[in-house]
Amino acid sequence: MRIFPFKAIIPEMSIVPSPESFFSTIKERFREYMSSGFFKATKSKSFFIYKIESPVNTITGIIGSNAVQDIKEKKVLKHELTIAPKEQLMLQLIKHSKAMIKPVLLGFREQPELKSYLKSQVKNKPWLEIEFKESHEKHSLWKLSEKLDVEKVQKLFTGVDQAIIADGHHRCEAIVKIYDSIAPKSKDDGDLGMLVFYVPFTQLRIYDYYRVIDLKDTLSDIEFISRIAKWTKINKIEEPRFPQKKHELIMYINQEWFIVTWKKKVLTRYKKDLPLLDNSLFSELILRKTIGVTDIRNDTRMNYHSGKLSLEGIKKKTNRLPQAVAFLFHPVVMEELIETVQHGATLPPKSTWFEPRVKNGIIVKPYV
């Protein structure tokens, strides 16, 4: 992979009163904060080691500016489709901010030499350290600006031949569009590159996205259950719970909870045609063939919620609509995701939620 050092913009923590409130508003107010002196630019082009310690787990990786050409040449791969309106909003946000305020999270197969190098560097005192008391997270940065360190990182990444977008599909699409509109065809360096955070697959944890579908003016509850029975086995449960294994879905509809599993004939029929993952089967059989959702990227009946949401939370989200159904999925296994992507397939939008997550504004890359 071709990654470059860059001049970063970082928060001036000495004048930030509350990290929780400040970083939660940066997405909408970056330019205002920048002009008010809440951010400062680094003097030299650098790479950054970024470490996130959270109750979920700890991840450590490299932040740099990735050549957009790596995306065009499919060295940086997508694992799910984007949602068109969100893609447009992200494009507008980057143009308005004139910056990427959050890196694209890229998963890759860890290189032993790179792992050893990062381990040696994080023994030093962090260059920047931010603690979030409410979420019990600590975000730490080490700045690598010396020539030998910059060359070392670039050399190590020549051994990384492929990466998969874990978080930031819409940011990636927006940057490619901006690059195509302004970049000289002969130039592809750090100034015009995409802000990225490389983290080994082994350190990332996958949660799912839950679907809440508005059935109003589409099907009644009874009609919906009757139709999906063609593809699934449906069993009512008295106590709600999360899915415990692959091909087991939990459905909430009309104040009741059900276990939904695919019929054997479905798994046999679609084994060769689709990635045999629940999100793919769900999009094909439940959304397209049962409800008539032909454009999953734009259909307003679809609502997505993080897999970290509680059962009570998903119940409340569903009950807010006069007639709706919620589906909970068992998370995709990392190796299955990698295999799916490497075979040229993609998952439906909002199929995965990776943890821990980078926060907006901790490290920013100017973009014009």
Q: What is the pLDDT of residues 328-363, one digit of tens each?
A: 998 888 787 777 777 777 777 777 777 777 899 999
Note the pTM of the prediction, 2 decimals.
Answer: 0.80
Q: What is the mean pLDDT of residues 17-25?
A: 91
In angstroms, how far apart are the furthest CA atoms of the chain? 67
Is the same domain home to 145 and 237? Answer: no
**Domain count across the chain:** 2
Q: Are residues 39 and 100 in the same domain?
A: yes
The verdict on 71 and 90 lying in the same domain is yes
Give the mean pLDDT of 6-35: 92
Task: Give the pLDDT score at 2.
Answer: 92
Residue 186 scores a pLDDT above 60: no
- Give the chain's length: 368
What local confidence, expressed as pLDDT, does residue 184 receive? 63
State the pLDDT at residue 274: 62
Average pLDDT over residues 311-319: 94
Region 263-290: what's the mean pLDDT?
Answer: 87
**pLDDT value at 188 more than 60:** no
Shared domain for 31 and 13, answered yes or no, is yes
Is 127 inside any structural domain? Answer: yes
Say if residue 59 is in the same domain as residue 180: yes
Residues 81 and 94 in one domain: yes
User: Is 276 contained in some domain?
Assistant: yes
Report the amino acid identity of residue 305: H
92-96, 107-111, 212-216, 288-292: the lowest-pLDDT one: 92-96
Residue 346 lies in a domain: no
**pLDDT for the residue numbered 84:** 73
Domain residues for the domain of 235 are 209-330
**Residue 63, domain CATH:** 3.90.1530.10
Whether 153 is in a domain gets the answer yes
Q: Is 342 within the bounds of a domain? A: no
Q: So what's the pLDDT on residue 152? A: 95
- 142 and 285 part of one domain: no
Using CA atoms, how far apart are residues 42 and 172, in angstroms rounded to an integer?
24
Position 121 pLDDT exceeds 90: yes
Nearest to 183 by CA among 192, 175, 172: 192
